[in-house]
């Protein structure tokens, strides 16, 4: 492990099917970054490029001052020389080896003698509390146990960079929730930069110091988890954060929306011009009759979709403003809401938040 300069990378990868990845990443030592994006956005290509599985077409990858890949200079370090530890989504443990030898494989492959490699494996077995599993084979492990073995195997190579490719995706929901905190504590013990690839916002928001949003091969937003949640820059990010995102213009608190005829009133009279507008789904109220009183924004609409989500029901409104609204199952029942129901929606001006576009 190292406390060097961290990762600085510009990755340009051109795929024959027309997809191009073009991103910049910078991760400090001791920091966890998340690359969060939908399927097909370029996450796996990023892992392959950083790990040396594929060469970049343009750009440069530098890790602790060492140049791993520079397309223009003709530099390309193969995977085995990069000192990059990877935890893959399906863990890729060797079925014919027990836990000790799975973890010892990396040090042995790098030239350590068998006894020394197994001593390193025992160190990580102790660190990740795997003692009872030392002589089991992968088919005798639960998903959570296999994940810890895969992490130990990556760390046993003393990498300068740790890549976690969907590290919790193969687990069931209950196990995933339980192991997030376990994984977070283990990551804190790694002194180098950590990059977690995920499509799950919960993993990114709970485990990362910095979140990079990847859409269509480009990073559309970078910030802390709080930055991303509070100020989403694209509809995809707003959906991840559970917010409605609109675009438009603000003039003294009057919002003119793009693509929607409805005007809204915001309490923010200072942010002028082009704005991103966010509204929390639980800030919108539904009424069977036209509301009167405090709301400065009220309009008639209809129910486009209704989706039960446990303790809440997600309602999607139709025109003039297609917003998501969270209500309780009891409220849905009392109002008799079904798809197509005519309804009134309202939101207070103070619940409409603006950020410069």
Domain edges within the chain: 7-238, 243-356
- Nearest of 42, 47, 134, 41 to residue 84 by alpha carbon: 47
Which of left, alpha, beta for 282 (phi over 0: left; psi -120 to 50: alpha)?
Answer: alpha
Q: Would you state the pLDDT for residue 1? A: 40
CATH class of 7-238: alpha beta
CB 133 within 8 A of CB 145: yes
Mean pLDDT of 250-275: 91
Which has the higher per-residue pLDDT, 181 or 156?
156
0.85 exceeded by pTM: no
Q: What is the per-residue pLDDT across 297-344, written as a single tens digit (0 to 9) for each?
A: 999 999 999 988 778 898 999 999 999 999 999 999 999 999 999 999
**Cis omega (within 30 of 0) for bond into 328:** no
Q: What is the per-residue pLDDT across 133-168, written as a single tens digit (0 to 9) for each?
A: 999 999 998 887 888 888 888 888 889 999 998 888
Q: Would you state the pLDDT for residue 4? A: 66
CATH class of 243-356: mainly beta
Q: Say how far apart CA 265 and CA 269 lie, in whole Å.
A: 9
Which has the higher per-residue pLDDT, 17 or 285?
285
Question: Within a 13 Å sphere around the CA of 185, how many CA atoms are in the beta-carbon half?
Answer: 8
Q: Would you state the pLDDT for residue 294? A: 61
Best mean pLDDT range from 67-81, 139-153, 198-212, 240-254: 67-81
Mean pLDDT of 161-190: 78
Q: Would you state the pLDDT for residue 174? A: 63
Q: Say how far apart CA 133 and CA 217 lie, in whole Å.
A: 40
Q: Would you state the pLDDT for residue 288? A: 93
Average pLDDT, the chain: 88
Matching fold, domains 7-238 and 243-356:
no
Provide the pLDDT confidence category of residue 357 given band limits of 50, 70 and 90. Answer: low
Which has the higher per-residue pLDDT, 228 or 7?
7
Provide the pLDDT confidence category of residue 231 given band limits of 50, 70 and 90. Answer: confident
Tokens of 142: 């639960």
CA distances (Å), origin 57, targets 61, 69, 103, 149, 219:
12, 10, 33, 34, 18
Query: What is the strand order of the sheet 342-347 is part of?
Result: 285-287, 342-347, 297-309, 312-317, 324-327
């Amino acid at each position: 492990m190292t406390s060097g300069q961290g990762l600085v990378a510009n990755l340009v990868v051109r795929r024959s099917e027309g997809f191009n990845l073009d991103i910049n990443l910078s991760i400090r030592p001791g920091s966890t970054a998340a690359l969060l994006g939908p399927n097909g956005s370029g996450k796996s290509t990023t892992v392959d490029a950083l790990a040396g599985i594929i060469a970049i077409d343009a750009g440069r990858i530098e890790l602790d001052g060492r140049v791993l890949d520079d397309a223009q200079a003709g530099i390309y370090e193969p995977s085995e020389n990069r000192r990059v530890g990877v935890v893959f989504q399906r863990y890729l443990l060797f079925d014919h080896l027990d836990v000790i030898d799975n973890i010892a494989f990396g040090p042995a492959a790098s030239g350590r003698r068998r006894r020394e490699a197994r001593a390193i494996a025992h160190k990580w077995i102790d660190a990740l509390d795997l003692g009872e599993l030392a002589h089991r084979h992968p088919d005798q492990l639960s998903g959570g146990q296999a994940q810890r073995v895969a992490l130990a195997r990556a760390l046993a190579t003393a990498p300068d960079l740790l890549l976690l490719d969907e590290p919790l995706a193969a687990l069931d929901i209950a196990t995933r929730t339980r192991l997030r905190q376990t994984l977070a504590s283990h990551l804190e013990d790694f002194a180098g930069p950590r990059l977690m690839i995920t499509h799950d916002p919960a993993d990114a928001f709970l485990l990362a110091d910095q979140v990079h949003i990847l859409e269509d091969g480009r990073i559309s937003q970078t910030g802390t988890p709080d930055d991303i949640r509070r100020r989403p820059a694209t509809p995809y990010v707003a959906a991840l954060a559970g917010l409605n995102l609109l675009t438009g213009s603000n003039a003294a608190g009057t919002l003119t929306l793009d693509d929607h005829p409805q005007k809204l009133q915001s309490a923010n009279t200072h942010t002028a011009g082009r704005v991103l507008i966010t509204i929390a789904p639980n800030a919108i109220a539904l009424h069977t009759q036209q509301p009167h009183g405090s709301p400065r924004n009220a309009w008639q609409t209809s129910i486009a979709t209704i989706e039960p989500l446990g303790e809440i029901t997600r309602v999607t409104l139709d025109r003039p403003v297609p917003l998501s609204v969270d209500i309780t199952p009891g409220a849905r029942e009392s109002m008799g809401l079904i798809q197509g129901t005519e309804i009134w929606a309202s939101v207070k001006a103070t619940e409409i938040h603006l950020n410069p576009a």
